[in-house]
Amino acid sequence: MSTQSNPDRLKRLAYIEDQRNQKPGHCNRFLHVVIDPAFLREPHGAQVLPKLTELGCKYELHQQSSPSTVTFYRTVPTKVTATGTVSDTRVDEPYAILLLDGASFVTYVQNHQLLAIIRSVKQGLLEAEPCGDKLDRRLSLLVFGLVSYCREHRGCVGRRQTEQALTELQLYEDISHQLLETDEQVGTFVAQLARSIAERPYKQQQEERYGGADQGQYFGNEKKGCVRVEGLAGLQQLFQAQLIKIPSVTLEIAEAILSVYPTLNALMEAFRVAGEQHAPNLLASIAIRRAGGPIATTARKIGPELSRKIYLLYTSTNPKQEL
């Protein structure tokens, strides 16, 4: 049977390939970093291309609408459908980087022009998008060599004036900033942002798969040591994994506790019923089976000290409580 006569198999193979390409390490090769040539000038740009090459991202040198800017887009891998057609998609990412040298930054701050310059850059990036596909990019500002410039030109701009200008950017335009002094720092920042953008679809998929519908938090992942909980299934295994993380609690001790209190909710209810006077020793008399075998005449017990530690861990409201 030919592959073209089996569309279900093609869809399955395409799905597997998509999932593999989204994973960290694989996704980097589908991200394209578009760099304005001015961004690579000395003394700040020497490490950008080596860092991106090391990461495995593709890069392109094109003159941007605003000098010294970097933009990003990803290509969805080419697929051959059951009808033999080929599809390839470009997806522009809503992120960009602008680099200003220390002298230009100081001039803009002194003349109260920084906010207007940033707005002009964002507008230029927006207008450079294809018609009907406007993308409001989130801009990261890199200020290179500000500390060095201020040391050579003492009194050129005050710290309060600088902080006020950067705060305005954050409040009015949601601009994050970095004050960098070496080309190594510039290259590292670009590579770190590129990797984060490349892994964004994978992290969004993980959040949708494992995150709470309202909380949007991770309650699981695909790592080997993760316990997956669906409804009530997996709660006991999760409780056991949690107990083992407590110092001095071995697998045998955790299994002994679970034999009496199979869930954390059951243990907390027992603590509540026992009251503050007796709850710290609630687990002390529980016998421990050795390696899953029968309880011998010389069986160990959890004991009052470990029982007290477990009680305090789950009930104390003091953030500085010592166990």
Show pLDDT as tens, one digit a residue, over the chain (323 residues): 444 457 777 777 777 777 777 788 888 888 999 999 999 998 998 999 999 999 999 999 999 989 999 999 998 766 655 555 556 688 899 999 999 999 999 999 999 999 999 999 999 988 877 655 678 899 999 999 999 999 999 888 889 999 999 999 999 999 999 999 999 999 999 999 999 999 998 888 877 776 554 544 445 555 555 666 666 667 788 888 889 988 889 999 999 999 999 989 999 999 999 998 899 999 999 998 776 555 555 668 899 999 999 999 999 888 887 77
CATH number for the domain that contains residue 85? 3.40.50.10130
Q: Which of 52, 10, 7, 47 is nearest to 28 (CA)?
A: 52
**Same-domain status, 204 and 286:** no
Q: Is residue 228 part of a domain?
A: no
Structural domain range at position 306: 235-315
> Are residues 193 and 272 located together in one domain of the fold?
no
Per the CB < 8 A criterion, the answer to whether 178 and 184 are in contact is no
Which among 197, 248, 171, 276 is positioned nearest to 31, based on CA atoms? 197
In a domain, 31, yes or no: yes
Predicted TM-score (pTM) of the model is 0.66
* Residue 135 confidence (pLDDT): 81
Q: What is the CATH number of the domain that holds 279?
A: 1.10.150.670
List CB contacts of 9: < 8 A, sequence separation 6 or more.
3
Other CB atoms within a 10 A radius of the CB of residue 38 amount to 14
Q: Are 302 and 261 a contacting pair, CB within 8 Å?
A: no
The pLDDT score that the predictor gives to residue 319 is: 82
Distances (CA, A) of 122 to 141, 151, 165: 11, 31, 17
Q: How far apart are CA 139 and CA 97, in angstroms?
A: 6
Considering the domain architecture, whether residues 239 and 196 belong to the same structural domain is answered as no
pLDDT of 218 = 46
Quote the number of domains for the chain.
2
- How much is the pLDDT for 211? 59
Do 203 and 289 belong together in one domain? no
Domain boundary among 210, 244, 266: 210
**Residues 6 or more apart in contact with residue 31 via CB below 8 angstroms:** 57, 58, 72, 73, 74, 93, 194, 197, 198
